[in-house]
Amino acid sequence: MFRGSSGQIVAMDAYCPHMGAHLAEGKVEGDGIRCFFHNWKYDAAGTCIDVPSLGKPLSAHVKTWQTAEHYGLIWVWVGVEPARSLPVVPELEHTDYDYALGSCFVKNCHPNVLLINAIDAHHFNTVHHLPLEIVFEQQTLSENAITFSNTTRGGDNVWLIRLLRPLYRQAVTYKMCYWYGTTGTVTLGPDFLHFHILFALRLAEGGTTEGQSVLLTQKRSGCLGWGVNRVLLWLTQQVGDYFATGDSQVFQTIQFDLKTPTNADQSILQFMQHVNQQTALIWKTWEPIEAENGTDSHASVGAVPPLAPEAH
């Protein structure tokens, strides 16, 4: 990946089609990249545009991938279909926002397993000791996005809950929005002040999850607004760290296998069903390979998450 002189982000396969040298050893020229080994140059579309030893280009090509900059991250679409919508925080979709990069982390489980933790209603009682009954209501935004909003009951015998209750019109605001089964956004807080956290995840080597959190808040004008947002982003980080710390140990040892779902697991089942129905997560291409008997057979290409964040 590299940024060209025009500011464009380019993502392409790593190896030069001449002899296989790694293009990261080369240098960026304009909006293209020149291989270190024999100085072949490729433009932003991956087309060979210069072979110095020949004085002309050849019909060599490096595969490129669609990219976008969003929420402080570089996103790469590696699906076979045209890129779809970028993940967004629904509440901030049509407003200006400030952001700060939060924590990078690695967990010893699949991204889907990490995301469902945020809609595991019962664990808020057992792990985080919140004296509330939480029920999630789901709404499908699109083929690739699903939201879960909470309603809460109980807790009236706890002084902290009684103190916080007047700050909310109905229930304590807690909303999740999941995109492509690998990216989740959290919105929480009282009616007058919402905190937003995005968790961008991708499947890493060995079946682990590599993640990056992004802290977001609605943009406020002027120097005072800038200062207020810095404080709010810091507070958002503390909120995110509190919940992450309580769960971290589970994701180092878990072997997810939901054999005995209960009523409290309904939201998890809805998430799993939504992920399984997304065509963007299903590989549709087949590559012909030569079988031992000389006839053509077909092998499917393995799947990876269609949206993978790269932070630079």
Can 2-62 and 90-275 be said to share one CATH topology?
no
Fold observed for domain 2-62: Rieske Iron-sulfur Protein (2.102.10)
Domain 90-275: assigned CATH number: 3.90.380.10
Share of the chain residues as helix, strand and coil, in percent rounded to the nearest 5: 25, 35, 40
Task: Assign 265 to helix, strand or coil.
Answer: helix
Task: Assign 289 to helix, strand or coil.
Answer: strand
For the chain, domain boundaries? 2-62, 90-275
Using the structure block, give the residue that is written with the tokens 């080994």: 37
Q: How do residues 44-68 score in pLDDT, each as one tens digit?
A: 999 999 999 999 999 999 999 999 9
- What average pLDDT does this structure show over 154-182? 68
User: Does position 162 have pLDDT exceeding 70, yes or no?
Assistant: no
CB distance 219 to 225 below 8 Å: yes
Tokens of 56: 């002309």
User: What DSSP string describes 221-253?
Assistant: -HHHHHHHHHHHHHHHHHHHHHHHHHHTTHHHH
Q: Residue 46's beta-bridge partner residues?
A: none
- What average pLDDT does this structure show over 23-28? 96
The confidence score (pLDDT) of residue 242 equals 74
Alpha-carbon distance 295 to 312, whole Å? 46
The confidence score (pLDDT) of residue 296 equals 42
CB distance 38 to 92 below 8 Å: no
Alpha-carbon distance 105 to 240, whole Å? 13
- Lowest-confidence pick of 49-53, 76-80, 109-113, 194-198: 76-80
- What average pLDDT does this structure show over 106-128? 86
Nearest to 176 by CA among 233, 119, 249, 228: 119
User: Does position 247 have pLDDT exceeding 90, yes or no?
Assistant: no
Q: How do residues 260-306 score in pLDDT, each as one tens digit?
A: 998 889 999 999 999 999 988 876 655 555 555 454 433 333 333 44
| Mean of all residue pLDDT scores within the chain | 84
Backbone angles phi, psi at 223, to 5 degrees: -65, -40
Alpha-carbon distance 312 to 309, whole Å? 10
User: Does position 307 have pLDDT exceeding 80, yes or no?
Assistant: no
